[in-house]
Every structure is written in C-alpha cells, then in structure tokens.
Chains A and B, each alone.
Chain A
Amino acid sequence: MESALTLDHFLIVSGFLFAIGLAGVLVRRNIIVIFMCLELMLSAANLTLVAFSRFNVHEGQPSYEGHVLLFFIITVAAAEVAVGLAIIVALYRSRETTDVGKLNTMKN
C-alpha cells in the first residue's frame, strides 16, 4: 500500500510538538505544568523514533529497535515522573509554593 505520507510529515509534527513543549518550559511558572511540558518534549522525541523505525524497512519488516528504545523511554519516564512529583510535593511542603520564580535560593 503506497501512501502519500512522507517522513517529513512526522518529523515536522514532532518538531512542532517539541517547540510547544519548550515554549511551555520557558514561559510557564507553575512547576507542575513545566513538568508536563517536559513530558511533551519527551513524547515529541518518541514520535521521531517511531517514525524513523517505520521508514527503515528491511525484508518487509520495520526495524523494531526503535520500538524497544521507546519502551525503555516510557519506563524511565514513568520512574522520572514518580520521583519528580514526589520532589515537587516535598518542595511544596517546605516552601508552600509551586512558582519557580520564588524558588531562587541559588541566586548569586
């Protein structure tokens, strides 16, 4: 089945998604939202992985290495989110805020 879709389509979607995530990280001040935007950027990277794997066909089969890597990324991301949110909760308990603008003890 020949399709009109090219690799470009997916890569550009991925690039935009990454840029949106980046913008979120840069402008939002709520640390939880920043964290979500990070996940968005990670997903953008995932999309390129799957796309490249799908476009790299050998003997009628896509290369599944990309999928395996994705599997690991999702697992690690799950661990990261768990720990990250725990840190945020701890931070909130001690500082009573989620505003990164107020978390500036490292200043100068």
Chain B
Amino acid sequence: MKTFAKRCITAVALATLMVGTANAHRAWFVPSSTVVSGDNAWVTIDGAVSNNLFFPDHRPMQIAQISVTAPDGKPIQIANATVGQYRTTFDIKLEQKGTYRIAQANTGLNASYKEGAETKRWRGTMAEYVAQGIDKKPGVELTATSRRVETFVTNGAPSEIKSTAKGLELVAGPTHPNDLYSGEEATFKMLDNGKPAANVEVTLIQGGDRYRAQAGEVKLKTGADGTLKLKLENAGMYWLEAESKGKTTLEGKTLNSQSTYVAVLEVLPG
C-alpha cells in the first residue's frame, strides 16, 4: 500500500513537471477598482493562488515579491498589507494620474539532468550552475524561467505601459488594459523580453467559474507581430494566462527559456 501510494505521488509529481507551470492553481491580483477618479484615490487589492476565479481557496500571494509601479515608472509602497490563510490583502494610494502596475515577477534558472534512470531537478544561479558542476551532468537541460502575475489600475486617463523587457508581458497595442468594454474588440501587444511575442498561446477565463459547469476557457494565439485580438461579450473580471517556450542566451550559453504571464483584466459594460 505504502509503495503504491508512493508510486502515485511520484507519478503526480512527474505529471506536474511535464506540464510545467500550467497547473490548475491560478495566481491573481484583483483590485477593488480598475478605474478610479478624484484626488484621494485608493484601491485595495487581493492576491491569491486559487482554483476558482476569483475566490481565494488555496494559498495567499507571497508578499515579499509584490511590486507596485506608479505611472512615472517608480515603485511605490503598499499599505495595510495582511497575509491571510487564503489571500494577501493590501492597499495602494494613487497619487499620480495614469496607470499603476501591480505585479509579482520573478526569474530563475532551472536545470534537469539524469542520474542513472532518475531525472534530477536543480535550481540556482549561473555561477552555481558551473561551480556545482551541473553543466557537466549527463543529459543536462538548462532553462531560464520568467514569471509575471499582474493587474492594472488607472487613476484618470490611462498612461503608457512601459515594457520591463523581462519575459512575457502585455502592453497596450493600441487598446489599453484599463480601457476594455463588452462587445468591443481589443487589440493588445504581447512582448517577450521586450520583443514581439509571436504565436504565443493565450488562455482567457472569466471570473465566477464556480457558478458555471464549464469554465468556458477561450484559447487565443498572438499574431506574428505579437498582436493579441479579443472581443468579450460579457462585462466582468477576466484571468488571462500566456506561456512561451524558446531559446535564449545567457553569459554566452544557449539555453531553453520558459516564460509565463498572468494578467487580471476588467471588462466594463460597453
């Protein structure tokens, strides 16, 4: 029985590795408002990793990696942060006019190699990769990963979303992510390391899937120039996920690259 259970766990673990970051748990930030007006504008934001959108039912978002970028491109402090059992909550004051970016972003290096019949996983820096002799392991595959989970809030008129030039991200193209209305076509641009992200698969799910038998996922693909077109008939909060895989070079080495991106977008009644 024990060995059977163990085998099951190994099988699950392998399956998880194979699908990479595309697991059932969905990370998100949901702001109390995506569009605000007035001179004393605040929004409160929930961050969580959950199964249902957007109900916190699994893990809170780790607070250390959260960054908020003001319209002027500078980071601002979050206020009243609390990490709960299922969700993280914090407030931001929007003192500038324009678009704020609330994100959790990280990059890393992963490697897999063979040790006999077993596949080993490794995580670290490029220096460690060489120092620990991982680069000499049999069947070694090195992957640079990038992950970004974010949402946008605009005080007054939307302002430009400047590319971070790191991993996958969505920018205006020309539709701004805080300027979405039901029944209207929106055109965004997806970038990967600052360059147009061609043929990237994008998944879109409307919040409230708890109340639907089927989540109603919409699968989209970016064009050759990174253009992403979508038209949503229903107003509401949407969860957008994109993933890209390719090759990159780092410190003179060619390696695999894997980038995931999540944005929560609000579509207002048109």
Asked if chains A and B come from one complex, the reply is: no
